[in-house]
Amino acid sequence: MNDMTEGKISKKIVLFALPVFLGQLLQQLYNIVDSIVVGRVVGSDALAAVSSSGSLIFLMVGFIQGLFIGAGVIIGKRFGAKDYDKVRVAVHTAVAFAFIAGLILIVAGIGITPTLLRLMKTPADVMPSSVAYFRVYFIGGLFIVMYNACCGIFQAMGDSRHPLYYLMASAVTNIILDLIFVAGLKMGVKGAAAATVISQFLAASLALLKLTRVEGAHRLVIKEIKIDPDTLKQELGLGLPTGVQNSVIAIANVIVQSNINAFGDIAMAGCGSYFKLEGFAFLPITAFSAALTNFISQNLGARKFDRVKAGARFGIFMGVGIAELIGIIFYIFCPVLLTMFSSESDVIAYGISQARTETLFYCLLALSHCMAGILRGAGKTKVPMFVMLACWCLIRITYITIAVRLFPVITTVFTAYPLTWSLSSILFVIYYFKADWVHSFEGKAA
């Protein structure tokens, strides 16, 4: 356990964020290995099927992941308040709910994937590979949900190291199996998806096993796994807005992807390759956003309001600064980096076009996510939901629908991202400085 209510603020946040950063880096690397192996061994059609998967996967997985944000906030506040009995109740409720949610994800993912792919205007020559990839991928839905639930519990207790260890094991396993299934056994996109499922199973199993052996209030006792209705109501009350936000934003991104798909499989492959690179920009954003959520929740539980504000300032500065540095590097070196995924000049050209449109605005993407992380830690999950739904969904869709008809080039689609990142950042800054979001919790129970 890592008590974030004591000690030097910058050290606590960085030591929490660093393992999250490294873990996400490993995850991004093995996602890239998927694309490199598939693109080089199978071809551009298969690369298009795998590379365009992000928005659809997030549509399915993002909702359930968002639900567990609420569990993490509840656990963190109770831990900060030293209410260990209630921590145990929240942990067992989260695991029980994760099992149910994982089964639902399997059924939904396998069942509605073809319909969603058609709605995304997936080209006919890519459709068989896309359906095959997704149906195998979602067989591992239970492992995806359980792993995220367990890691959310560790992180709520201030422990970001163990999730890193499990991602390391998962990443190495995925890379080895990619080489065996795709390059060796020539299983194509099904092999890439199977490698992912097996690696997710390993990560979830290790995380669950560790939870049964830890010393502390978050120890998992198998026979005590059950849902406490009041706790689940609180967890869902905080997590549901984030789940809805994730899903609706994912729907918006699916619409964006469908507009990209309309330009053909070469555009899909090129933009999919860029999105793999963009994942690296999310690393500091994810790391510091997660650190801020847990830091804020624990310190609000402990009623250390000045510490909350100081931690928020530091986390925003670090997340925004590092993300922008990555953006500048990508802007300069994207032509070289994109050659990792394909040697086709047209594929690379699409990726460069998207990179040169978006990368210099990563600072705004980071600012929005870091502020959303702060507000979620404070239990204000509805605020980022409304801001992001308005900007990243309604405005993004409206803009693309109108602008693409007026200017039917793919760069019109790309500009939707920096435009909506800018708008959400402005709204978050206004709320952050106008609303007394910290002291509004004074006197409330954790």
Kindly state whether residue 2 falls inside one of the protein's structural domains.
no
Residue 407 counted as domain residue: yes
Does 328 reside within a domain? yes
Domain limits for position 405: 9-441
- The predicted pLDDT at position 417 comes to 92
Determine the Cα–Cα distance for residues 235 and 149; give it in Å rounded to an integer. Answer: 12
Burial 110-142 (b: 16+ CB within 10 A, else e): bebbeebbeebebbeebeebbbbbbbbbbbbbb
Q: Over 50: is that where the pLDDT of 443 sits?
A: no
Q: Is the pLDDT of residue 436 over 70?
A: no
Highest-confidence segment of 153-162, 182-191, 358-367? 358-367
Instruction: Inform me whether the pLDDT recorded for 41 exceeds 90.
Output: no
Average pLDDT over residues 270-284: 81
Cβ atoms within 10 Å, residue 282? 18
Residue 446 belongs to some domain of the structure: no
| pLDDT (0 to 100) of residue 250 | 74
| Residue 131 is assigned to a structural domain of this protein | yes
What pLDDT score does 48 carry? 67
Q: Is residue 4 part of a domain?
A: no
Q: How confident is the model at residue 187 (pLDDT cuts 50, 70, 90)?
A: confident
From 260, 243, 164, 195, select the one nearest 34 (Cα to Cα): 195
Confidence of residue 365 (pLDDT cuts 50, 70, 90): very high
Assess whether pLDDT exceeds 90 at residue 151: no
Mean pLDDT throughout 427-435? 85
How high is the pLDDT of residue 210? 94
- The count of structural domains within the chain is 1
Query: In the chain, how many H helices and how many E strands?
Result: 17, 0
Res. 404: pLDDT tops 90? no
% of the chain residues with pLDDT over 90: 30
Q: How confident is the model at residue 179 (pLDDT cuts 50, 70, 90)?
A: confident
Q: Is 302 exposed, middle or buried (0-12, 13-18, 19+ CB in 10 A)?
A: buried
Dist CA 441 CA 292 (whole Å): 17
Scan for tokens 């330009």, then name that residue. 263
- Please count the other Cβ atoms lying within 10 Å of the Cβ belonging to residue 18: 15
Render 159-228 in DSSP notation, one character per residue. --HHHHHHHHHHHHHHHHHHIIIIIIS--HHHHHHHHHHHHHHHHHHHHHHHHTT--STT---GGG----
Whole-model pTM? 0.76
| Euclidean distance between CA atoms 113 and 136, whole angstroms | 11
Q: What is the mean pLDDT of residues 99-104?
A: 91
Q: What are the distances in angstroms from CA 24 to CA 27, 103, 194, 340, 425? A: 5, 25, 20, 19, 24
Is 393 inside a domain boundary?
yes
Least confident of 230-234, 281-285, 320-324, 352-356: 281-285
| pLDDT value for 188 | 80
> Comparing 178 with 358, which gets the higher pLDDT?
358
Tokens of 192: 């890439």
What integer is the mean pLDDT of 391-409?
90
At residue 325, φ and ψ (nearest 5 deg) are -60, -45
- Whether residue 164 is contained in a domain is answered as yes
